[in-house]
Amino acid sequence: MATYKVEICGVNTATLPLLKAEEKDELFKKILEGDMEAREQYIKCNLRLVLSIIKRFSNSNENVDDLFQIGCIGLIKAIDNFDITQNVKFSTYAVPMIIGEIKRYLRDNNSIRISRSIKDTAYKAIYAKENLMKKSSKEPTITEIATEIGVSKEDVALALDAIQAPVSLYEPVFNEGGDTLYIMDQISDKNCKEDNWIENIALKEAVAHLNKREQEIITMRFYEGKTQIEIACEIGISQAQVSRLEKNALKNMRKYLE
């Protein structure tokens, strides 16, 4: 992502107005009365909010000007839908609106192409989830969401997973005192688990107790991935003989492992 600039989309952020809370409240009252000039001024005094939010998406490869424009759309939607009677700060209401608008843009412009039907299912699931949470004040299950929109829970899970943006393994998730924790640091490698090491050692010992011909066949069959026919051609015996030797070798290994 490009370095953050003082001028974005032709707007010099250094000259944006800084208004007190009381001044913003007065402006919003004028907006509700249909004052378009007040609306324009209110947008400008909140552009810094948009700028601070798009910094959260620094790991995306999208142009910063594009993200700023999309963020402004979210800001305008927030202004148009804000209810002053709810006794909530405008920024508290606007931030998720702006973030949501940017996330939708990133999903729709993802380099990994997702079918329209899967996207539609995902968006329906998201809206259904929000509505269910408002009704019950708790996180709905996949089954509840699926029932709400009339599709299978498997389709809901697939759709929600498909619209998630890919994340770099080197994306930092925590930083303190110069020690950065990356996503890759939180992912375990099942191939390195202690149980797997023990299994590998036991298998090697079991193979070592086979005779030379059986060891050769097991190695070619399961470590080199060759077929019985390929092994037969390579060592000069029939495929039926290879099959018998393989079965006998596996039988002896099982006995040893028991």
pLDDT digits (tens, 9 = 90+) for 203-216: 888 888 889 999 99
- Measured in whole angstroms, the distance separating CA 152 from the mean position of its chain's CA atoms is 22
Highest mean pLDDT (candidates 115-124, 209-218, 226-235) = 209-218
Cα–Cα dist 239/245, whole Å:
10
Residue 82 has pLDDT above 70, yes or no: yes
pLDDT of residue 186: 53
Question: Cα–Cα distance between 136 and 235 in angstroms, integer?
Answer: 69
Between 11 and 231, the higher pLDDT residue: 231
- Cβ 80 vs Cβ 31: under 8 Å: no
Give the pLDDT band (50/70/90) at residue 3.
Answer: very low
pLDDT digits (tens, 9 = 90+) for 5-62: 455 556 666 677 777 878 888 888 888 888 888 888 888 888 888 888 888 877 666 7
The pLDDT assigned to 198 comes to 57
pLDDT given for residue 149 in this prediction = 92
At residue 2, the pLDDT reads 44
Find which of 56-60, 161-165, 173-177, 214-218 is predicted with most confidence, using mean pLDDT: 214-218
* Residue spans of alpha helices (H) in the chain: 21-32, 36-45, 47-54, 64-81, 90-108, 116-136, 142-149, 153-162, 194-208, 212-218, 228-235, 239-257
Note the pLDDT of residue 114.
64
Residue 8's SS3 state is strand
Q: What is the mean pLDDT of residues 159-173?
A: 65
- Report the alpha-carbon distance of residue 218 to residue 248 in Å, rounded: 10
Using pLDDT thresholds of 50, 70 and 90, give the confidence band for residue 91. confident
Tokens representing 229? 């026919």
Radius of gyration of the chain (CA): 30
**Averaged over 75-103, what is the pLDDT?**
86
Name the pLDDT band for 176 (thresholds 50, 70, 90).
low
Q: Which range is most confident: 46-60, 113-127, 187-201, 203-217?
A: 203-217
Nearest to 94, CA basis, from 117, 112, 77: 77
pLDDT digits (tens, 9 = 90+) for 237-247: 888 888 889 88
Confidence of residue 179 (pLDDT cuts 50, 70, 90): low
